[in-house]
Amino acid sequence: MIRVQVKEGEPLDKTLRRLRKICNNEGVTRGIKRKSYYEKPSERRRRKNRERLKTIRLSVRNR
């Protein structure tokens, strides 16, 4: 569960922006969008394979 504490004197808009940023970084919104429609098992395998390759490329590039 994601929690965001409202700081004293902080406008609600700024708090909501922090919440959205945390959700995007955690991948919550991406997961919700992905589950909003049916994904065939073959498409799911392809997507997971692409994501895996992307993380491998990023880790090699950052070395």
* pLDDT, tens only, 30-56: 888 888 999 999 999 999 999 999 999
pLDDT score of 63 more than 90: no
Which pLDDT score is estimated for 14?
Answer: 94
Which pLDDT score is estimated for 1?
Answer: 80
Higher pLDDT, 62 or 57: 57
The structure's pTM equals: 0.55
Q: Where are the alpha helices (DSSP H) in the chain?
A: 12-26, 28-35, 41-61
Domain ranges of the chain: 12-61
Which pLDDT score is estimated for 19?
Answer: 92
CA distances to 15, 43, 54, 55, 56 from 49, in Å = 36, 10, 9, 10, 11
